[in-house]
């Protein structure tokens, strides 16, 4: 297989699996990328897939306009091939001849010799004619777009636009391994441009994405990849010295690790219901040089794991619709169903009710999601407060987003960060 073709073949297969067979984008990347030995191929595959998914509404409009019979569900691989080609020419701006030739070669590699001419003709048309403009909201399922418009009437279009953009790269500097200023200097010495954000004590924002293998000291645990919104959780919870802390839905472990990096005196227990994700979380803790008690357990069933000793602080980063991180997980718009939402809201309420008894009087529970839907966020907190007379909502300042009256909401792209919600509940 010639140079660059392997990356495009991988991208097409991933797109087809995610769009046609409902597979998770994260799982498909995990399966496919290790098979590409060249890191440049891995980076190109990711770039093509993300660009194609973010712009799929525009690319489908082009296919409808340019083909008498656009590819349907039975020919998803052809559609994925054309999306991958358009993404290279449009969003990624790759050299036209290389993009077209390698995509046509990918068609042959995929056993689509009979369609190579069609792929060539449509990509060359894309070089001559502009791809149609499209409303970024067109990529969202109608039921979900309507909920966004209802919850955020003045911000909905900005949410759609921001969710279609590439997310910036944020790093969290491990305080146990050095200061943020020292790490910023190391990045610059390595030729990587970055800046700090004064709202986040441990954060560094890269000017452009860099493979983690190129980050100074990454393997040694000097830094981790984590969005700014997620890094704000440590400040929002802010447990006292020596506190016993529970991270109830902890995988992949970034927030628990951040707390441990900041304060070695904390006694942290990290739970996750998925044993495989717990093993990966433990690998992360080992890389960072921190020790955190971690186990596979269902946080909604404390009888199965709680020893009866109350926690001083609890972090519940609850399962949610992930509508605040569409720019990082564009497959959310393909896979999320309206019926999912009621199940998620019920699970969030169940987790809150189950964990509240494990919190010591005077302790704080931080409820967080990466959702921007009020039903999962302010509505969930309002309902919890109505049913728990011993709970009080504590205000969070403007660093954590907009005050909704029942917690703080950051919308996608605000401050360069992901959409995120958090509310701090104090037990009387």
Kindly list the domain boundaries of the chain, sorted by start residue. Answer: 5-134, 169-225, 228-427
SS3 of residue 299 by DSSP: coil
CATH superfamily of this structure's domain 228-427: Vaccinia Virus protein VP39 (3.40.50.150)
SS3 of residue 225 by DSSP: strand
* Tokens linked to 103: 């995509």
Cα–Cα distance for residue pair 130/45, rounded to 1 Å = 24
Cα–Cα distance for residue pair 245/237, rounded to 1 Å = 10
pLDDT at 165: 92
CA of 25: how far to CAs of 18, 22, 198, 241, 315, in Å?
6, 9, 33, 39, 27
pLDDT at 3: 65
The bridge status of strand 203-206 relative to strand 244-247 is: unpaired
Residues in the annotated binding site: 249-255, 272, 298, 317
* Tokens linked to 387: 């049913």
For the chain, how far is it from start to end, CA to CA, in angstroms? 66
pLDDT at 360: 98
pLDDT at 265: 97
SS3 of residue 359 by DSSP: strand
Residue 296 belongs to what H/E stretch?
Answer: strand 293-296
Under 8 Å between Cβ of 151 and 114: no
Cα–Cα distance for residue pair 326/145, rounded to 1 Å = 13
Residues in the annotated binding site for S-adenosyl-L-methionine: 249-255, 272, 298, 317
Residue 270 belongs to what H/E stretch?
Answer: strand 267-272
Under 8 Å between Cβ of 320 and 329: no
Domain at 169-225: CATH code: 3.30.70.1170
pLDDT at 1: 65
Catalytic, 320? Answer no
Each residue of 193-243: pLDDT tens digit?
999 999 999 999 999 888 898 999 999 999 999 999 999 999 999 999 999
* Tokens linked to 217: 């000291």
By CB atoms closer than 10 A (0-12, 13-18, 19+), residue 117 is: exposed
* Tokens linked to 365: 């529970």
The yes-or-no answer to whether 5-134 and 169-225 have a common fold is no
Cα–Cα distance for residue pair 345/360, rounded to 1 Å = 25
pLDDT at 72: 80
Q: Which of 370, 128, 355 is nearest to 232 (CA)?
A: 370
* Tokens linked to 215: 């980050």
CATH 3.40.640.10 at 5-134, yes or no: no
Give average pLDDT by consecutive 10-residue segment, the chain, 428 residues. 86 96 94 92 95 93 93 89 97 94 96 96 95 87 97 97 94 96 96 95 94 93 97 97 98 97 97 96 96 97 96 98 96 95 98 98 98 98 98 96 97 97 98
For residue 195, report the phi and psi dihedrals to the nearest 5 degrees.
Answer: -145, 170
The bridge status of strand 267-272 relative to strand 203-206 is: unpaired
SS3 of residue 332 by DSSP: helix
Q: Report how far Cα 385 is from the mean position of its chain's Cα atoms.
A: 29
Each residue of 304-360: pLDDT tens digit?
999 999 999 999 999 999 999 999 999 999 999 999 999 999 999 999 999 999 999
Q: Which of 346, 426, 363 is nearest to 389 (CA)?
A: 426
Dihedral of CA atoms 88, 91, 96, 100 in degrees, nearest 10, equals 30
SS3 of residue 311 by DSSP: strand
Cα–Cα distance for residue pair 402/383, rounded to 1 Å = 19
Q: What is the pTM of this model?
A: 0.92
SS3 of residue 268 by DSSP: strand
CA of 54: how far to CAs of 58, 162, 332, in Å?
9, 11, 11
Cα–Cα distance for residue pair 217/230, rounded to 1 Å = 21
Q: Which of 321, 325, 388, 397 is nearest to 359 (CA)?
A: 388
Residue of 48, 322, 370, 422 marked catalytic: 370
Under 8 Å between Cβ of 206 and 194: yes
Q: Which of 151, 199, 170 is nearest to 323 (CA)?
A: 151
Residue 42 belongs to what H/E stretch?
Answer: helix 39-54
């Amino acid at each position: 297989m010639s140079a660059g073709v392997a990356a495009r073949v991988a991208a097409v297969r991933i797109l087809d699996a995610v769009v046609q067979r409902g597979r998770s984008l994260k799982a498909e990347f995990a399966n496919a990328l290790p098979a590409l030995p060249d890191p440049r191929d891995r980076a190109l595959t990711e770039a093509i897939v993300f660009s194609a998914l973010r712009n799929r509404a525009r690319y489908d409009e082009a296919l409808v306009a340019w083909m008498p019979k656009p590819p349907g569900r039975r020919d998803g691989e052809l559609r994925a091939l054309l999306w991958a080609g358009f993404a290279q020419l449009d969003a990624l701006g790759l050299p036209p001849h290389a993009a077209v030739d390698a995509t046509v070669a990918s068609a042959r590699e995929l056993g689509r010799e009979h369609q190579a001419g069609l792929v060539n003709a449509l990509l060359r048309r894309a070089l001559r004619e502009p791809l149609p403009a499209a409303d970024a909201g067109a990529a969202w399922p109608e039921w979900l777009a309507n909920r966004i418009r209802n919850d955020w009437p003045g911000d909905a279009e900005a949410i759609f636009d921001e969710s279609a953009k590439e997310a910036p790269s944020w790093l969290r500097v491990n305080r146990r391994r050095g200061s943020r200023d020292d790490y910023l200097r190391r990045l610059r010495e390595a030729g990587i441009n970055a800046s700090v954000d004064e709202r986040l004590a441990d954060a560094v924002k890269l000017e452009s994405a860099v493979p983690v293998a190129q980050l100074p000291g990454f393997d040694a645990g000097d830094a981790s990849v984590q969005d700014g919104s997620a890094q704000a959780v440590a400040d929002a919870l802010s447990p006292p010295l020596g506190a016993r802390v529970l991270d109830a839905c902890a995988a992949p472990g970034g927030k628990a690790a951040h707390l441990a990096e900041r304060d070695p005196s904390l006694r942290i227990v990290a739970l996750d219901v998925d044993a495989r994700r717990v093993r990966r979380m433990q690998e992360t803790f080992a890389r960072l040089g921190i020790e955190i008690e971690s186990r596979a357990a269902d946080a909604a069933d404390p009888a199965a794991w709680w020893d009866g000793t109350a926690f001083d602080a609890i972090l519940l980063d609850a399962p949610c619709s992930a509508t605040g991180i569409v720019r990082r997980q564009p497959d959310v718009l393909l896979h999320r169903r309206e019926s999912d939402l009621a199940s998620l809201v019920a699970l969030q309420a169940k987790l809150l009710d189950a964990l509240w008894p494990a919190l010591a009087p005077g302790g704080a529970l931080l409820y967080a999601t990466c959702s921007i839907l009020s039903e999962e966020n302010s509505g969930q907190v309002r309902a919890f407060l109505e049913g728990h007379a011993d709970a009080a909502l504590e205000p969070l300042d403007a660093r954590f987003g907009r005050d909704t009256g029942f917690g703080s909401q950051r919308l996608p792209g605000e401050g360069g960060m992901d959409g995120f919600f958090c509310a701090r509940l104090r037990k009387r």
